[in-house]
Structure 1
């Protein structure tokens, strides 16, 4: 039933789209057709061989991945033909005039053979030996033996180019699999095979060597190791193997803008390969793509702008660093990245899954678009819905783990880094100052009034979310909402705490905030105290980010690194031993990314993670939010449970939870985390707080007046625009 619905959906889309269709062959019906969409300028070639499901093919990505045997482009051509053809013609199939070897895109991709009615006995025997009654591959023999046999028959065999590519990939997989077995056999015995020696300029840990082997022998795979385990060095070592063993010539690394230069530095430090950062205006970037370099480095936003230039380079390997950047499969960046062409592909991420299984599906599409099946099938197999069609859990997780096993390697720090120094987590609670209580209570009152309405409009819902954002700003500093006031118990506490934290030779501290303006206020306090610092935020250019990072890493006088979440991913900052969170992000993955900047390989001192929380406010509930999101990740990757369930994510449940938040008395003692039901805030997380994820990742502009925030409450679009203007990433929300 589900597959029929998906087929009907594509037929409906074919009728709605305004395609232009051009016949490429001489035959009126059974020919190749060029299908163009003037709205998107996309075009694909459709081959028509019949009017039944599975008869035809298309070059579009959907046809190759959906396993349905059709797509909207095929259906558009068939509709066009049906209008002008009599019914008896529509029952025919294209006559096979020449033996053809092609790829069949069904539940699995396989080699197929079409032979004419009149054929030699030798060809008939080959068809029976290697293929089933439908012409699909069904043999224990090798593809090489098939090609040899076909070369001996009298007929000329038409072999589609993609067949050779498919066979080459299959042979490569087999050869690399044999090497993997051999290399692991030696590693299990404490031996390092010759091919795994001197890959990079520093020694590799045993677990890293196994990661290198995994990457180098799987063609396209995901390295999902915990942050801080050395995904960069494992990648560079795997590249060296592929360069030596498989003739790898050029590599594209796609990374967040904040870490492009760090990749360049690591390549220069660990290898003898050349590495070129692509940047500048279009003409300059085009010249850089054409320059000779083994590695070329771009950020995710450039993939959209430079898509044709990148694919023209014909990279052998594409590496995605922080691959969770493509977790939203509907974003332009995600779609562009998945259309990049290369034989080999590595996706690197310490957070394979942040919020839901759909994100994992999106990352898998980059390395193997058919591994988890089409999206509609994946949703049906793994999502649990209630009678209203709302998500209430996930199922069949063991089957999902089994599908992922060939392409995903994940190790935790607890598993492999017994020698990692201890991490100490400390929560410092502060009280609202009198000047903060008035604006906070005003927003809390507004929020309660909105929640008490019997019916709420979409504008009401946006105002609810904006009130929450306002309350969080107030908890940091009154100056974020009113530039005439400078009241911040958090910064006052930080002033007292910081001299002790940086006392002693070589001690350094990183301070994170979601708001750029909060960091600027913090910087003013540091200047008064004559404490040298470096400031990183999303608005800096690539060279400026590099300079800021190098100053903190190399200047012994620069003791403090102020950063938005632009510095929370991909950067190695082991020179510090303390992380301070001026406020907690909604997303636990973001929190762990921050701490992992210093609690990683190379760190020799105990690490402190200090987080500020304002008593009796919404900030105390963020701790619950973090615990809930962690539960899904743990269940999938670190347990053997087959199902996870949580309460229905109903609109009323979302509102009820908000009401609980704002109506709790401020005099009530903070909730003990151990006594808090883990699932108590699930409704908030999954029922619309992608919006709050945006706020959590954004660098807000200069201090915002209350009037501006009232407009903000009326318009989600304004919030998105503000985030973009200040260097935030709107793609994180969704």
Structure 2
């Protein structure tokens, strides 16, 4: 039923398109045709071979035909429609007569090599067919393709081997040879008989394994946890392929913020030429004329320079932070997938962030047929409710099995047993009086909106704006209310206190992440006021200046703090820092992991601590629940063995479904932050300093309310924890 629906869809597309069809052969029907789409400005043309009137008998060069497993496409249907209209000239037979032997590829659910023989084949041809092919002409499972090609060349009759069939044979033979070579090197390495000198640094055993995996597959995915050195492994694989597979041109596609980091690491660990494509169109044009081994571009450049990049004919394309192509409908994704190369590495620590469709889009760049056509993939793996909404995913074991040959993923906890301990500490803060007022008013707006039975598109947009406003209020009241003092932010107060204490206690470097640039600007002002050295990275900075910002943070002992929006949460190496502050909670769980991976990664030699700020009884606590649910899908697909997972709904719908619950009052949770005597002392000192420095009231009492609210809250919270613990020990 589903496949017939898909065929009907292609019939509709054929009827709606305007084609010019040219017969390239002599036969009026069973011939090769050029089909030109004159609907689009590019006049896209594909060759169509008509061999019969039944589905599955014909061939088209278009991408859809090669991956849809239907045996047809709109171009084939268009040609058959034209032939049917000229029915008087049609031959009585319904199939092309095979006059010469041909070896072809059948594009079914699985690619199959096949042979077409004349009605009366010669004894030699018949013997060849029976040796390597079954009764219906399909290649036998254990057929030796190398021997087959030798026999084809020896055969007295010429056998036509079509280009796609030749590619199929060559790729299969190369895969077999590469598998043998990979096993050889693995065995030699395990027996201490091969010491790979691939880079100007020593590789850890798991990195050697990763480099071997990449180097001995044509197109594959390295999905190691963030911080395990995917860039190093990719460069090592490149060196091995340059030695053994004559690699000469490597195109690296990366986020703009990481272009110069790639340059730095290539120059540090290899002797290869490297070039960044950047600047104006004229500057880029000049750059393309310069010979180089590595060429580095960001994703946006691909949209503008696709033809030039393909004209360079890279042997290998590396996609770094490949989650950038997770949305298969995005223009950037479509253009990146048009990059042509024999080899491809996809590097991503988060191949799946929210939806299984994201994984499909990334895998499609590596192997468009690996997971089957999208319509069948979604049918096989999505769980939908009566309204057609996705509620979960199933048959994940099948997905894992299909990905096993091309995807390698190792988690940090299974590989780096000696990685320094990482401590995550939630810091729960109370909203200020102004924040409570603004938050309450905005929650009332949210409650009124979600109480409506049917929400329009305008209502949906308003809902998202309300949620965004709530998050702004949690950061700083002035971001949502111009009349409010920018100092009215418990997060800023708490951050400054903790940063000062950490610096005094000998902390190396501190990284502060927040989605809101405006909030970081407010923090920047407070850092200046307190004479605290910092750098500030955000999305508006040119990529050429980002490397110098990281260098200043790393090398300048006075620069202790690295402020960053999530423009810096992917790819940057900040392992010389040992403390991380998450000032907000992003909707996407992968972003939190990306932030932590900036400092908790290879090269880190100190214990790592992170602090997550959470405003009690606020929208931020709701976000935490959403993150936990989203993490289930990622962990289930790549880290566990369960075959099915239940999801509440997609992200946007999840907001809508949960908004009513979010508007209900709740008891503020108690702090789960670990404490000890050092914590109490570290908080008590600034508390009493502030208290004793305050003016007394007319009655002679200390003005407790003059102590910053955040400091009071934190101090009394620790005191209560000690009191509670004493009660439990009585």
Q: Is the 8 A contact 2:104 2:162 kept in 1?
A: yes
Select between 19-28 and 464-473 the one with higher mean Cα deviation.
19-28
Counterparts of 1:520 and 1:476 in 2: how far apart (Å)?
12
Counterparts of 2:388 and 2:454 in 1: how far apart (Å)?
21
Q: Which residue of the partner structure matches residue 222 of structure 1?
A: 221
- CA shift for structure 1 position 172: 1.4
Select between 566-575 and 445-454 the one with higher mean Cα deviation.
445-454
1:108 to 107, 110, 115: 110
Q: Is the 8 A contact 2:60 2:75 kept in 1?
A: yes
Q: After TM superposition, list the pairs within 5 Å mapping 1:99-248 onto structure 2.
A: 99-138=101-140, 140-189=142-191, 191-194=192-195, 197-248=196-247
Q: TM-score, normalised by structure 2?
A: 0.88
Determine helix, strand or coil for the equivalent of 2:154.
coil
Q: Which residue of the partner structure matches residue 82 of structure 1?
A: 84
Q: Which residue of the partner structure matches residue 555 of structure 2?
A: 554
Counterparts of 2:330 and 2:604 in 1: how far apart (Å)?
36
For the pair 1:11 / 2:49, whether they are aligned, the reply is no
Larger Rg: 2
- CA shift for structure 1 position 495: 1.6
Counterparts of 2:456 and 2:608 in 1: how far apart (Å)?
47
Q: TM-score, normalised by structure 1?
A: 0.87
Q: Is the 8 A contact 2:629 2:647 kept in 1?
A: no
Counterparts of 1:573 and 1:87 in 2: how far apart (Å)?
72
For the pair 1:22 / 2:22, whether they are aligned, the reply is yes
Taking structure 1 as reference, are residues 356 and 273 closer, same or farther at Cα in structure 2, changes over 3 Å only?
Answer: same
- CA shift for structure 1 position 328: 0.9
Q: Which residue of the partner structure matches residue 393 of structure 2?
A: 394
- CA shift digits 1:509-531 (9 cap, x unpaired): 11111011111111111111122
Q: Is the 8 A contact 1:25 1:33 kept in 2?
A: no
- CA shift for structure 1 position 295: 0.7
- CA shift digits 1:523-582 (9 cap, x unpaired): 111111122211111111121222222221222221111111110001100121111111
Taking structure 1 as reference, are residues 390 and 113 closer, same or farther at Cα in structure 2, changes over 3 Å only?
Answer: same
- CA shift for structure 1 position 269: 0.5
Q: Which residue of the partner structure matches residue 532 of structure 1?
A: 533
Q: Which residue of the partner structure matches residue 94 of structure 2?
A: 92
Q: Which residue of the partner structure matches residue 354 of structure 1?
A: 353
- CA shift for structure 1 position 502: 2.6
Select between 568-577 and 532-541 the one with higher mean Cα deviation.
532-541
For the pair 1:292 / 2:296, whether they are aligned, the reply is no
- CA shift digits 1:49-84 (9 cap, x unpaired): 222111211111111111111112221222222222
Determine helix, strand or coil for the equivalent of 2:220.
strand
Determine helix, strand or coil for the equivalent of 2:137.
coil
- CA shift for structure 1 position 410: 0.8
Counterparts of 2:665 and 2:141 in 1: how far apart (Å)?
68
Select between 222-231 and 30-39 the one with higher mean Cα deviation.
30-39
Select between 87-96 and 158-167 the one with higher mean Cα deviation.
87-96
Q: Is the 8 A contact 1:226 1:410 kept in 2?
A: yes
Select between 614-623 and 452-461 the one with higher mean Cα deviation.
452-461
Counterparts of 1:648 and 1:437 in 2: how far apart (Å)?
30
Q: After TM superposition, list the pairs within 5 Å mapping 1:51-70 onto structure 2.
A: 51-70=53-72
Q: Is the 8 A contact 1:620 1:670 kept in 2?
A: no
- CA shift digits 1:391-424 (9 cap, x unpaired): 2221112222111111111111110111111111
Determine helix, strand or coil for the equivalent of 1:507.
coil
Q: Is the 8 A contact 2:515 2:565 kept in 1?
A: yes
Counterparts of 1:433 and 1:81 in 2: how far apart (Å)?
76
- CA shift for structure 1 position 356: 1.6
Counterparts of 2:652 and 2:518 in 1: how far apart (Å)?
33
For the pair 1:43 / 2:45, whether they are aligned, the reply is yes
Equivalenced residue count is: 669
Select between 248-257 and 500-509 the one with higher mean Cα deviation.
500-509
- CA shift digits 1:178-232 (9 cap, x unpaired): 012222223444x1525xx210111111111111111111221111110111111
Backbone CA RMSD of aligned residues: 2.2
- CA shift for structure 1 position 134: 3.4
Q: Is the 8 A contact 2:114 2:137 kept in 1?
A: yes
Counterparts of 2:581 and 2:480 in 1: how far apart (Å)?
23
Counterparts of 2:108 and 2:263 in 1: how far apart (Å)?
42
Q: Is the 8 A contact 2:35 2:75 kept in 1?
A: no
Taking structure 1 as reference, are residues 185 and 648 closer, same or farther at Cα in structure 2, changes over 3 Å only?
Answer: same
Select between 557-566 and 391-400 the one with higher mean Cα deviation.
391-400
Select between 331-340 and 305-314 the one with higher mean Cα deviation.
331-340
Select between 329-338 and 232-241 the one with higher mean Cα deviation.
329-338
Counterparts of 2:38 and 2:575 in 1: how far apart (Å)?
51
Counterparts of 1:611 and 1:650 in 2: how far apart (Å)?
22
Select between 274-283 and 146-155 the one with higher mean Cα deviation.
146-155
- CA shift for structure 1 position 91: 5.2
For the pair 1:480 / 2:482, whether they are aligned, the reply is no
Taking structure 1 as reference, are residues 651 and 590 closer, same or farther at Cα in structure 2, changes over 3 Å only?
Answer: closer
Instruction: Extract unaligned runs of 5+ from structure 1.
Output: 675-734
Counterparts of 1:385 and 1:629 in 2: how far apart (Å)?
17
- CA shift for structure 1 position 654: 5.6
Taking structure 1 as reference, are residues 651 and 167 closer, same or farther at Cα in structure 2, changes over 3 Å only?
Answer: closer
Taking structure 1 as reference, are residues 7 and 656 closer, same or farther at Cα in structure 2, changes over 3 Å only?
Answer: closer
- CA shift for structure 1 position 447: 1.1
Select between 97-106 and 60-69 the one with higher mean Cα deviation.
97-106
Q: Is the 8 A contact 1:222 1:409 kept in 2?
A: yes
Instruction: Extract unaligned runs of 5+ from structure 2.
Output: 674-730
Counterparts of 1:551 and 1:250 in 2: how far apart (Å)?
33
Taking structure 1 as reference, are residues 670 and 22 closer, same or farther at Cα in structure 2, changes over 3 Å only?
Answer: farther
Counterparts of 2:158 and 2:531 in 1: how far apart (Å)?
82
Q: Is the 8 A contact 2:23 2:34 kept in 1?
A: yes
Counterparts of 2:574 and 2:654 in 1: how far apart (Å)?
41
Q: Is the 8 A contact 1:476 1:490 kept in 2?
A: yes
Q: Which residue of the partner structure matches residue 697 of structure 1?
A: none
- CA shift for structure 1 position 35: 2.6
Q: Which residue of the partner structure matches residue 728 of structure 1?
A: none
Counterparts of 1:561 and 1:63 in 2: how far apart (Å)?
50
Counterparts of 1:185 and 1:165 in 2: how far apart (Å)?
30
Q: Which residue of the partner structure matches residue 73 of structure 2?
A: 71
Counterparts of 2:282 and 2:649 in 1: how far apart (Å)?
52
